[in-house]
Amino acid sequence: MPLVTTTEMFKKAHEGKYAIGAFNVNNMEIIQGIVDAAKEEQSPLILQVSAGARKYAKGIYLKKLVEAAIEDTDLPIALHLDHGEDFEICKECIDAGFTSVMIDGSKYSFEENVALTKQVVEYAHARGVVVEAELGKLAGVEDDISVAEEDAIYTDPDEAIEFVKRTGCDSLAIAIGTSHGAYKFKGEPKLRYDILEKIQTALPGYPIVLHGASTVLPEFVELCNKYGGDLSGAKGVPEDMLRKAATMGVSKINIDTDLRLAMTAKIRQHFVENPADFDPRKYLGPARDAIKEMVRRKIKDVLGSDNKL
């Protein structure tokens, strides 16, 4: 099976009131852990590559690994560019065979964001590639840029509706209270479901994307802290809040931090318990297993994308 786009996935997800997990990938072990989980749970999948991941691993390595994963599992997998910051990076990924790209013009004015997104949509659609855009501003850390919680800007539903109509983008990432990284809320977690509801009422069935949607699972935070880390104050989006969003038109849920925490917790644990070890397979293996179990649980209990092939 070749790489797929997200069109069919999102249509089915919306009808079935579940979401597709979009997991950030940076190396082979992360890809294998995610894909093995999806295979066991019979779930469609989006694997996404950030600019940082492309720089770290080289895009071509990640693409070939994802192609190997498809050959190994026969799963429908979309390969997506996460947070493309300009037309050039989107074009490069489209030309390299990605089936989906994100143009993140959220830092620009509304009109500039519309113009940039339209340019990417035109290029992508002519080549059968789908486009995610973003409106509003999430708090948190992303590609070394930090946005404070008080500087985050919720998406304006009326603007979102106009934005989708004018740009023709295939899905829209909105800011309703989630944020990137491990420190998402200072106080109680809160999501603005009312924004989601307004957009869905005006654009029924339109795929909404939630970035910054890791739960920051306590088991991995505790393990990191127990084995020499310091993640005090870490807080993510509770699983029941994500479940609710998935039933309200959120078709894509982005997860990176939970993968990082699972991997790091297991590696920390390994070295404290086995200080003399120096075989990478001995610590990357358990890290991969932890990712697999974590993703399996997310697919079943949070995303609801199990048995949806």
Is residue 82 annotated as a catalytic residue, yes or no?
yes
Beta bridge partners of 233: none
24 binding ligand G3H? (CB under 6 A): yes
Structure token pair of residue 162? 């106009």
Residue 80 as a binder of Zn ion (CB under 5 A): the answer is no
CA distance 142 to 115: 23
61-69, 150-158, 210-218, 265-273 -> range binding ligand 13P (CB under 6 A): 210-218
**Among 45, 53, 93, 241, which residue interacts with ligand G3H (rule: CB under 6 A)?**
53
177 lines the binding site for ligand 13P (CB under 6 A): no
Instruction: Give the whole-angstrom CA distance, residue 149 versus residue 175.
Output: 12
User: Smallest Cα–Cα separation from 214: which of 196, 241, 187?
Assistant: 241
Among 4, 255, 299, 302, binds ligand 13P (CB under 6 A): 255
Residue 113 makes contact with ligand G3H by CB under 6 A: no
Q: Which is nearer to ligand G3H, 170 or 256 (CB)?
A: 256
Does 180 help bind ligand G3H (rule: CB under 6 A)?
yes
Q: Find the part of the chain contacting ligand 13P (CB under 6 A) among 67-75, 143-151, 205-213, 243-251.
A: 205-213
Residues 116-175 that bind ligand 13P (CB under 6 A): none
DSSP character at residue 252: E
DSSP letters, 11-74, are HHHHHHT--EEEEE--SHHHHHHHHHHHHHHT--EEEEE-HHHHHHH-HHHHHHHHHHHHHHH-
Burial classification of residue 128, based on how many CB atoms lie within 10 Å of its CB (0-12 exposed, 13-18 middle, 19 or more buried):
exposed
Q: Which are the catalytic amino acids?
A: 82
Site residues for ligand 13P per CB under 6 A: 24, 82-83, 180-181, 211-214, 254-258
